Structure 1
């Protein structure tokens, strides 16, 4: 009979020691059952049903708590570590076994591999050597679990996870199961596979797919520049910068690293708050 590794199976208790019961399954293999899992002691020949796997010590083990991720069943799993020559390891809910996502199923560029804390939607697979692997879901799976986004989503903020990296776009699924994509022009850095992302919806397609940007809105970008100017003023001993809206682009770039147009927008934003004054010598924080 084929191995029952990675499956929920029923067997019979054949032996025990201080720490474990030993359960023989229908595949003829004997699996350890940690006694800490069992509230009421089992007897020899007792029937037990659980999830069969090989633990990190390469011992066959069975547990009554089956993980959500199984053969033919997908579930979200967090990345816990990686090995450049093998792939990344994910936690599917087994206390003493992390499962490998093979490098064959990861981006060619290792900088785009998931990092610890990122998450992947995976299913289990067992090869002919009884090794368990985590297989990432493909686009068809995400299509099946997704919900069509409504037009009212436009300009909304979203949190999403990247599930496929392409030259032309990054494919994502939001926390509410809406599919979306990020064009390279709408990001500063290409996201990793499995990375959690915060973005905003540029538009909603007729197919209910979100067009998402990772770049800030214009007023948010101005806000960041304005905050930087305030920080520079606060750290200057005289709370003063020798810049104003008549300064040369070169002087502005050298002092604060902004273009003149960025500087003027940020300056205008701060002036509206009434927190600084501007004159021919530059800008200064107002005395409180």
Structure 2
């Protein structure tokens, strides 16, 4: 009986014998099959010591591989999303020939921000009481332990990162340099997916070395985009809407997903261009200027 307690771990093992389909590796108590297609380093002789990852393959056989994944029971790293199964969660590829499930219990409540195939999740492996191994997003504490401090010179620079955590408060990002970033809902037009790769502008470097990121263009560029969005909304609604510069921030955000200040700038641009008028508590397309 093969010892299942070492599933999901990296072990130092000795080659104990050759088989028809590879070799057997031993820890002195248990032998683990090392199939020929899982040998990725030179095997020279019986008794040779090798590092191997122990796991259950797609046929649910406990085997060894000399492919050493970054993600194990004892370590975490990025894993690519291979498949999305709405009633279960997503399966991620850690580099071996078997995908590991990230349960829907560890994904956002809103399926709109679930990862898609090709996205990347920051995970480690976890094992249940039945020795079944799953992938699980790592905790915020584990992220904090291993951060790089962003330099003050990063302000206003463009960064690329992946969303590793998605909450109501906003999206948390890790950049390739190891900086932790935060995207406030005000600083995005749509919520990025968990695992999505984003490119944004650094708008603040905190004293603790973390950064705040905006996915919105610079203010002068945003004004044009927002004005176009408001004008298109008017055209789609018979040229009239009940929102004006006096409307509440919540009403504006519910409709356009922008702040009241951004909305007022957009209205100001349209008013200056004489594309709209405001009367009787409504904003109306100025058809005389069309």
TM-score by structure 2 length? 0.70
Aligned to 1:151: 152
1:185 Cα offset (Å): 1.3
Residue of structure 2 equivalent to 1:187: 188
TM-score by length of 1: 0.71
In the alignment, what sits opposite 2:111?
A: 110
Distance 1:39 1:149 in 2: 41
Counterpart position of 1:238: none
Which residue, 67, 70, 73 being the options, matches 2:69?
67
CA distance, structure 2, for counterparts of residue 163 and residue 75 of structure 1: 11
Pair 1:5 & 2:7 matched: yes
> What runs of 5+ residues in structure 1 fail to find an aligned partner?
229-248, 266-281, 283-288
Q: For the Cα contact (< 8 Å) 1:23–1:33, is it kept in 2?
A: no
1:49 to 1:207, Cα distance in 2 relative to 1, 3 A: closer
Structure 1 stretch 185-194 or stretch 216-225: which is displaced more? 216-225
Cα deviation 1:29-84 (Å, max 9, x = unaligned): 543422654644655x7665421111112222211221111122111111111212
- 1:90 maps to 92
Give 1:259-278 correspondences, 5 Å limit.
Answer: 261=269
Q: Match of 1:101?
A: 102
Q: State the partner residue of 1:210.
A: 211
Structure 1 214/40 Cα, relative in aligned 2: closer, same or farther at 3 Å?
Answer: closer
RMSD: 3.4
SS at match of 2:182: strand
Secondary structure at 2:143's aligned position in 1? helix
- Secondary structure (helix, strand or coil) at the match of 1:108 reads coil
Give the counterpart of 1:28 among 8, 27, 30.
30
Distance 2:193 2:267 in 1: 30
- Distance, in Å, in 2 between the alignment partners of 1:47 and 1:152 is 48
For 1:132-162, what per-residue CA distance to the aligned partner results, in whole angstroms no more than 9, with x for missing partners? 2112111112212212223322222111211
Summarize the Cα distance change of 1:7–1:207 in structure 2 as closer, same or farther, 3 Å threshold: closer
| Structure 2 counterpart SS, 1:170 | strand
Higher Rg: 1
26 and 183 in structure 1: CA distance in 2 versus 1, 3 angstrom threshold: same
CA distance in 2, matches of 1:51, 1:167: 37
